[in-house]
Amino acid sequence: MKPKLVTPEKDIFLAAPNKPGRVVLVIHSWWGFTDTFRDLCVSLANRGYLAVAVDLFSGGSAQTEAQARKLKARRRAEPIYKTLVRALSLARQHPMCSNAGAAVLGFSMGGHWAFWLSHRPEYRIDKVVSFYAVRNTDFTSSIAEYQIHLAEGDPWVSKASLKSTESSMRKCGRPYVLFQYPGTRHWFFETEREEYDRRASALAFGRVLEFLKVKRSGRNGV
């Protein structure tokens, strides 16, 4: 029986595997909770993971940057971090949750939130995958290892911010691996976007699955 995306609580979605698996939280980009992220949750559940996602815009989606900025700035009844933590808690209570640790996959805006969550050890995030996002901060409290996927020459991710993030991770001894995809642009994983790159997204997804499955050495560029 193939997994389906269900809504146990408003704006929270779960796709459960057929047997217990680890939790993977998916955090969408500022375009909204589109089919890319719905399909990603189901794909993860098909591979044995308990996928959970939050629609941070309550059904809203954007086609332009102006629309996306408006959605992102919209007032919320609950702060984003509380909604994400609530989704994690809900997934950990699910009968198909196999352990206390969790992975987070974040995309652009969602990537920044993935980094943020990983800095709080109480949330027990042990793996982070960030697509086209970095975040320079103090990694001292993190228990996670990181996998970062970046487009080539991405104007949304400056060389300085990437250098600072890598420096901070090395300083705190956090294992990470970085991949850059020649000829791609920001949003290259998202099928709805004109920047979508089928080959790069397939390659990246394969690397994500391997990262979730296997303990990595953390060597950059592997």
Which domains does the chain possess? Answer: 5-213 (3.40.50.1820)
User: pLDDT for 103-142, tens place per residue?
Assistant: 999 999 999 999 999 999 999 999 999 999 999 888 999 9
Q: How many residues comprise the chain?
A: 222
- Give CA separation, 185 vs 65, 68, 180, in Å: 15, 18, 10
- Please give the average per-residue pLDDT across 86-110, as a whole number: 94
Mean pLDDT of the chain: 92
Categorize the per-residue pLDDT at 65 as very low, low, confident or very high, splitting at 50, 70 and 90.
Answer: confident
What per-residue confidence (pLDDT) applies to 188?
A: 97
What per-residue confidence (pLDDT) applies to 217?
A: 47
- Please give the average per-residue pLDDT across 178-185, as a whole number: 96
Q: Is 145 exposed, middle or buried (0-12, 13-18, 19+ CB in 10 A)?
A: buried
Q: Please provide the DSSP assignment of 59-75 as one string.
A: T-B-SSHHHHHHHHHS-
What per-residue confidence (pLDDT) applies to 214?
A: 66
What count of other Cβ atoms lies within 10 Å of the Cβ of residue 150?
Answer: 22
- Please give the average per-residue pLDDT across 203-218, as a whole number: 83
What count of other Cβ atoms lies within 10 Å of the Cβ of residue 134?
Answer: 25
User: pLDDT for 145-160, tens place per residue?
Assistant: 999 999 998 999 999 9
> Which is more confidently placed, 204 or 218?
204
Q: pTM value?
A: 0.93
Look at residue 52 and tell me whether its pLDDT is greater than 60: yes
> Which is more confidently placed, 37 or 137?
37
Look at residue 174 and tell me whether its pLDDT is greater than 70: yes
What count of other Cβ atoms lies within 10 Å of the Cβ of residue 86?
Answer: 15
